[in-house]
Each structure stands twice: as structure tokens, then as C-alpha cells.
Amino acid sequence: MFGLDKKDTTLLLVVAALTMLAPFLLNPFPTESGMAQFNAGYPDLMQKFVIFGIFAIGFNILFGLTGYLSFGHAAFLGVGSYAAVWIFKLFTYNVFPAILLSVIVAALFSLLIGFVSLRRSGIYFSILTLAFPQMSFALAYSVLSNPKFNLTNGETGLQVYADDPQRFHREGLPDLPHLFGLSMRSTHTMEIGAWSFDFNVGYYLCAIVMLVTFYLSVRIFRSPFGMMLRAVKSNQQRMNYTGLNTRPYTLAAFVISGMYAGLAGGLLAAMDPLAGAERMQWTASGEVVLMTILGGAGTLIGPILGAGFIKYFENIFSKINDNVLHQWFSFMPDGIEDFMVFIVHPFVGKGWHLTLGILFMLVVIFLPGGLVDGGQRIGRWLRSRGQKEDKTTGTTEPAE
């Protein structure tokens, strides 16, 4: 099906089901309950799940297949956002041309950076790619915000104003990002008993795009091109000794990965028409590295899981403050309640990075293959347990 084998088709269908049913799956607790703060089924967060999933899928094509660790992918995320916002400012709020230009600009930019960076490998490649997003950040933050040719609007960020030309914007169309008249912020809320579920147009656009990019990544992984990239990761020096020039393959992987990042940046701008220099900082590149490793580098679904895991912590755990903690431990005596709040406080709210760091450390130590590795181990344990139970419950007939 779709040119995939049975196993990959099943995986694609599982990802599609999880993505389409996300408004239900991410809102397990009633709206008015005390546990509702752990619900993640609201449009802004769901959009981040799938957009950064796209970002991580693209990064995994480079890092997971070739082993080249890039710290420069935030540059492509940033230029994709800027390109999309300029389409909104100059031409139209339609997200289709904005996203298309984001991918094209990111492809050209990644071609330039990849051509320079891939002259080195290993740690030298990583250092080169680390330098580019920092230079891009400096350009966007200061140089390109010069009043004479203000392309980025500096620290304020690039955004759309009422006096922008928007040459192809017609009356009757939304004054917000839309897809041929269908507003990205259009949301339908379904009430079922004590539960509330939001179905957002922008989320489902991002979800469909993520499914397409996931399908393409599966095809790349299973293609001869993907096998060549795995060979590069296995022993690039030996391949060079045979006379095979691996640079075109690694450059192609770098550009494809950059296009994914640009696509993610364009979608971020399409959901919220704003582009800032902070998207180009090295910390944004480090975040996608964490997502990929946490989920499982070199696996198909791992980057999506890692992106969702980190964005959940960033947006849910960071909102837990002392008032919430006191509500959690209110059943305890006052002294013990204050003590428990004191103990838990450093791991939530502004200290959510500490919890994430501990979890990341545990995953790297005990699950080097990431969350996917953990799921596979649990699956093998359950299968082996089931086989043992079958053997113990089996009966044997006495010999005659």
C-alpha cells in the first residue's frame, strides 16, 4: 500500500490515526477536573506537536541516516518563518504560497551551508553548523534590521501590519492566515459530557502535512538512497577508498533535512504570522537534537515521539506553580504540605528543564535507542511473558 511493505503501512496508519484523533487522545480528563491541567488537546499545543515533529523528522534524515550531527538547523527554521511572513506582508495571507516559498528559501540556504560544512566531518562539521545559526541570528537581530533595508525588524520580530501592501489580498477573505479562504484559527468545539474537544483547521493542515512528510521519510529510509546514507554512517572512509564520492549523497540529505526545517518554520508563521530572530539561536538547534535522540535516532516514529514529549513538558509542566502544588498536597498536614511543595518546586514551573534533563539522562543511560527502544523492550517482554504462560497452561496427553 502506497509503495510500502506491510510493516511500514501499519506504522503509517497508526501515526495517521493518532494524529487525526489527537483532540480526543490529548484530552483524557474532564474540563472542570483538577487533572485538566495535564490535558494537551488545545490547538496551539497540538500545532506545536506536529510542526516540531516535522522539524525532527527532517533532522533525523540527516543525523539518523548519515550520522552527521548538525547544530545549524535552527537557521533553516528561521529563514522559513521570515520567508512566510514576507509573503503575508507583500502579497497575501494565503498560507499555500507562504509555505512553498519557505521550503524553497530553506533549500537554497541549506545548499549553501551544506556545501561549506560538508567539507569536514565529525566534530568539525558540527562546529561549522553551530557557527551558521549564530551568524544568522546576529544578522537577523541587528544587521538586517537596519532601517534602510529592514528585513527582520530586529528584536521586535517581523509581523504583518495594516498598512502592508498585500497586493493579492481581496475583500471577503480573512485578515488572518488562511487556506483559500479557510481561516487557520477556525475552531469547532465539541462538548461531550464533562469533556471538551477542539477541532482546529490550522492543526489539521499541519497534521496532514506531517503525515505527507512522514510518508516521504519512510520512502527515503527504504530507498537505495537511504541505504547509501546508512553506508556513509557505517564507514564513510571505506566508501571513499573504493572511489565512491559520498559528498553528493550527504549534501542531498542535508538539503532535504533543511527543507523539512524550512517547512516547519513556514507552518509556524502560518499559525501565528510572526518571525523572530530567536528561532535561529543554537538552543533551537539543540532542541531538535534532543527530540531526535530522546525519541530514537534512526527510527521512523522516534523523532515524532521525542518532539511531542519535549513540547508537552515545555507547555504543561512549565505552568505548574506553587498554588497548584499546594492544591495537590492540601490533604496533608500544613508542615508536610509545605515540605512537599519545597521538594517538588524545583522540578516544575520554571524548573521544568531540570525534570527534562533528568529524564533525558535516564533515557540515554538505560534506553540508548530512545523511547522507541523502550517500547520495543516492553513489547518483547509482553510477548515472552505470553509465550511462557502458553507453555505453562499447555496440557500433554499420557503416552499409551
**Segment of 40-44, 142-146, 218-222, 392-396 carrying the highest mean pLDDT:** 218-222
- Taken in order 177, 179, 184, 186, the sign of the CA dihedral is positive
Q: Are 206 and 307 in contact (CB under 8 A)?
A: no
Examine residue 244 and state whether it is found in any structural domain, yes or no: yes
Residue 302 has what pLDDT? 92
Number of Cβ within 10 Å of residue 235's Cβ equals 10
Helix (H) or strand (E) holding 197: strand 195-200
Please give the average per-residue pLDDT across 109-115, as a whole number. Answer: 94
* Predicted confidence band of residue 95 (pLDDT cuts 50, 70, 90): very high
CA nearest 50: which of 211, 269, 231, 167?
211
CA dihedral (258, 264, 265, 266) in degrees, to 10, reads 110
Q: What is the mean pLDDT of the chain?
A: 88
Report phi then psi at 20, rounded to 5.
-70, -30
Report how far Cα 212 is from the mean position of its chain's Cα atoms: 14
Query: What's the whole-number mean pLDDT along residues 362-372?
Result: 86
**Cα angle value 144/78/319 (rounded, 5°):** 120
Residue pair 71/129 in contact (Cβ under 8 Å)? The answer is: yes
- Mean pLDDT is lowest, of 193-207, 243-257, 323-337, for 323-337
What integer is the mean pLDDT of 185-198?
90
Confirm whether 394 is domain-assigned: no
Angle at 184 between CA 180 and CA 188, to 5 degrees: 115
On the question of pLDDT at 394 being above 80, the answer is no
Please report the pLDDT score of residue 399 as a whole number. 44
| Nearest-angstrom CA–CA distance, 231 and 249 | 11
CA dihedral for 232, 236, 242, 245, sign (positive or negative)? positive
Within-domain flag for 338: no
pLDDT reported for residue 262: 96
Q: What is the pLDDT of residues 36-70, one digit of tens each?
A: 888 888 899 999 999 999 999 999 999 999 999 99
Would you list the DSSP string of 307-335?
HHHHHHHHHHGGG--HHHHHHHTTTS-HH
Q: Could you tell me the pLDDT band of residue 384, with boundaries at 50, 70 and 90? A: confident
Q: Domain tally for the chain?
A: 1
User: What pLDDT, in 10s, does the model give residues 133-176?
Assistant: 888 888 888 878 777 777 888 888 888 887 788 887 777 677 78
Residue 325 lies in a domain: no
Overall average pLDDT of the 257-261 stretch: 96
Secondary structure class of 298 (helix, strand, coil): coil
Rounded Cα distance between 98 and 380, Å, is 45
pLDDT band at 323 (very low <50, low <70, confident <90, very high): confident
Angle between helices 201-222 and 247-271 (to 10 degrees): 170
pLDDT at 400: 42
pLDDT bucket at 359, cuts 50 / 70 / 90: confident
Range of the domain at 181: 6-30+38-281
Return the bridge partners of 90, or none.
none
Q: What percent of the chain has pLDDT over 70?
A: 96
Average pLDDT over residues 69-98: 92
Q: Is the pLDDT of residue 236 over 50?
A: yes
Distance, CA of 369 to CA of 278 (rounded, Å): 30
Structure letter (DSSP) for residue 397: P
* Residue 343, in any domain of the structure: no
350 — pLDDT class (breaks 50, 70, 90): confident
Q: Given pLDDT bands bounded at 50, 70 and 90, which one contains residue 390?
A: low
Residue 205, Cβ density class (10 Å: 0-12 exposed, 13-18 middle, ≥19 buried):
buried
CA-to-CA dists, residue 324 to 57, 313, 356, 385, angstroms: 35, 16, 19, 40
The position carrying cell 499546594 is 326
In which band, very low, low, confident or very high, does the pLDDT at 226 lie, cut at 50, 70 and 90?
Answer: very high
Please indicate, yes or no, if residue 297 is contained in any of the structural domains: no
Tens of pLDDT along 273-310?
Answer: 989 888 888 888 889 999 999 999 999 999 999 999 99
- Report the first-to-last Cα separation within the chain, whole angstroms: 52
> Does 314 score more than 90 pLDDT?
no
Question: What's the rounded mean pLDDT across residues 352-377?
Answer: 86
Which pLDDT value is given to residue 168? 79
Asked whether residue 398 carries a pLDDT value surpassing 70, the answer given is: no
CA pair distance 93, 340, nearest whole angstrom: 50
Is residue 77 assigned to a domain?
yes
Residues near 321 by Cβ (< 8 Å), separated by ≥ 6? 348, 349
From CA 309, how far away is CA 69, in angstroms rounded? 21
Tens of pLDDT, residues 327-346: 888 888 888 988 898 898 88
Res 307: pLDDT: 93
pLDDT band at 1 (very low <50, low <70, confident <90, very high): low
